[in-house]
């Protein structure tokens, strides 16, 4: 099987030749090409080449079009702080005073140089991958991106104290999110990762999610013209399974701190699972540790399909050594081959 066939089979809750592996690498591409992170992300040819070389090196089953989360606030006019040893971050707030929400205008995709670069990188990846390797595009959910637009404290105040402006901001963000997702699909992405960490019950109460982020996700995902994977970026998932399934998302990214046995029982046949290797602790893993962690995730999540082995956060940090990534990939190939006879 090629990677696309492998992924589609597991998403159908059937067992492919082996468990698909997604190494969601971003800044590692800069290291692969000997470039600074800032210069790397400014060059779509480099991003596409970096993704291709990393897949050749580790043999995983996707190309990851994600660059950095602050890309979207950059498109709205925000500033980005680039680091030498980790992902870029938003360095300025889009909205300093909540009244400014009344006058926001979502950016044009074609008028945003940073978005144009990302789309070019996707097209370059697609020219090589064709239909054999899925390219994963990324959007920040309309419900979670305000943390970068307003700051966390101001956003919580908005949710609780100014419902009219909250829903106005959601309208702006939903419009942009759908257009940005569909532009990536048109460029060649096979699916869209819908990052939504604020929706985790680690962040807000379940009932508040039901009234806000759930409503937003249902409407937004309905407008995206392709498969989606909802990722809570390390946030726990179990209590949200039924609601996430109602949003019509296809995959859910799962936390290291989720009970994988309970989560699989609650989600099987409704949602495929993506995860849940600890992307923080893996910085210090030995080869033996990597093999142990991979085997444990496969044991709990992989029987019967519906499982993609990956990290728990949706991005593997720059500080994770190549030796660890090689050990993860080797263990996935060794122990992830169906049928999983070693479980008997």
pLDDT tens digits, 33-88: 999 999 999 999 999 999 999 999 999 999 999 999 999 999 999 999 999 999 99
Phi, psi of 187 (to 5 degrees): -75, -20
For residue 194 the two structure tokens come to 């819908």
For residue 319 the two structure tokens come to 């500080």
| pLDDT above 90 for 92 | no
Q: What sign does the CA torsion over 261, 331, 335, 53 have? A: positive
Q: What is the model's pLDDT at position 152?
A: 94
For the chain, give the percent of residues with pLDDT over 70: 100
Q: Please state, in angstroms and rounded to a whole number, the distance separating the CA atoms of residues 184 and 137.
A: 6
Q: What is the model's pLDDT at position 102?
A: 94
| pLDDT above 90 for 199 | yes
pLDDT tens digits, 205-242: 999 999 999 999 999 999 999 999 999 999 999 999 99
* Of residues 238, 299, 292, 290, the one with CA closest to residue 263: 238
247 vs 147, 220, 269, 313, 343, CA distance in Å?
22, 9, 15, 21, 34
pLDDT tens digits, 201-214: 999 999 999 999 99
Segment 95-124 shows an average pLDDT of 95
Q: What is the model's pLDDT at position 114?
A: 97
* Of residues 144, 124, 168, the one with CA closest to residue 72: 144
Segment 118-122 shows an average pLDDT of 98
Q: What is the model's pLDDT at position 196?
A: 98
Centre a 10 Å sphere on the Cβ of residue 265 and count the other Cβ atoms it contains: 11
The region of weakest confidence among 89-93, 123-127, 176-180, 269-273 is: 89-93
Q: Please name the residues in contact with 34: beta carbons below 8 A apart, sequence gap of 6 or more.
A: none
pLDDT tens digits, 293-333: 999 999 999 999 999 999 999 999 999 999 999 999 999 99
Q: What is the model's pLDDT at position 120?
A: 98
Q: Please state, in angstroms and rounded to a whole number, the distance separating the CA atoms of residues 188 and 109.
A: 16
CATH fold of 3-343 reads TIM Barrel (3.20.20)
Q: What is the model's pLDDT at position 16?
A: 98
Segment 258-272 shows an average pLDDT of 96
| pLDDT above 90 for 6 | yes
Helix (H, G, I), strand (E, B) or coil at 211: helix
Q: What is the model's pLDDT at position 344?
A: 81
Q: What is the model's pLDDT at position 112?
A: 97
Residue with tokens 């290797």: 277
- What residues does each domain of the chain span? 3-343
- Cα 196 → chain centroid: 9
Q: Please state, in angstroms and rounded to a whole number, the distance separating the CA atoms of residues 290 and 286.
A: 6
Q: Please state, in angstroms and rounded to a whole number, the distance separating the CA atoms of residues 213 and 197.
A: 10
The whole model's pTM is what?
0.97
Peptide bond into 276 cis (omega under 30): yes
With residue 137 as reference, give the H or E element that holds it. Answer: strand 135-140
If you ran DSSP here, which 8-state letter would residue 101 be given?
G
């Amino acid at each position: 099987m090629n990677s696309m066939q492998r992924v589609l089979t597991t998403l159908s809750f059937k067992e492919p030749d082996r468990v698909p592996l997604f190494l969601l690498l971003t800044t590692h591409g800069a290291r692969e090409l000997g470039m600074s992170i800032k210069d790397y992300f400014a060059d779509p040819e480099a991003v596409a080449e970096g993704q291709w070389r990393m897949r050749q090196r580790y043999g995983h089953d996707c190309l990851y079009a994600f660059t950095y989360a602050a890309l979207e606030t950059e498109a709205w006019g925000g500033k980005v702080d680039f680091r030498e040893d980790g992902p870029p971050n938003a360095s300025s707030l889009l909205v300093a005073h909540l009244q400014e929400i009344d006058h926001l205008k979502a950016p044009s995709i074609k008028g945003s140089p940073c978005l144009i670069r990302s789309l070019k990188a996707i097209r370059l990846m697609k020219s090589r991958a064709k239909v054999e390797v899925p390219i994963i595009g990324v959007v920040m959910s309309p419900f979670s991106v305000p943390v970068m637009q307003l700051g966390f404290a101001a956003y919580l105040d908005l949710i609780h104290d100014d419902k009219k402006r909250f829903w106005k901001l959601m309208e702006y963000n939903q419009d942009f999110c759908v257009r940005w997702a569909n532009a990536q699909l048109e460029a060649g992405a096979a699916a869209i990762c819908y990052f939504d960490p604020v929706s985790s019950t680690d962040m807000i109460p379940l009932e508040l999610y039901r009234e806000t982020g759930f409503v937003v996700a249902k409407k937004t995902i309905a407008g995206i013209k392709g498969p989606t994977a909802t990722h809570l970026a390390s946030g726990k998932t179990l209590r949200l399974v039924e609601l996430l399934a109602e949003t019509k998302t296809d995959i859910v990214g799962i936390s290291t701190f989720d009970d994988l046995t309970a989560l699989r029982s609650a989600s099987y046949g409704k949602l495929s699972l993506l995860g849940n290797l600890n992307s923080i602790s893996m910085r210090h893993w030995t080869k033996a540790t990597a093999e142990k962690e991979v085997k444990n995730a496969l044991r709990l999540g992989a029987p019967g399909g519906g499982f993609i082995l990956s990290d728990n956060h949706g991005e593997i940090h720059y500080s994770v050594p190549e030796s660890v990534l090689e050990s993860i990939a080797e263990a996935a190939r060794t122990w992830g081959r169906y049928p999983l006879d070693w479980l008997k």
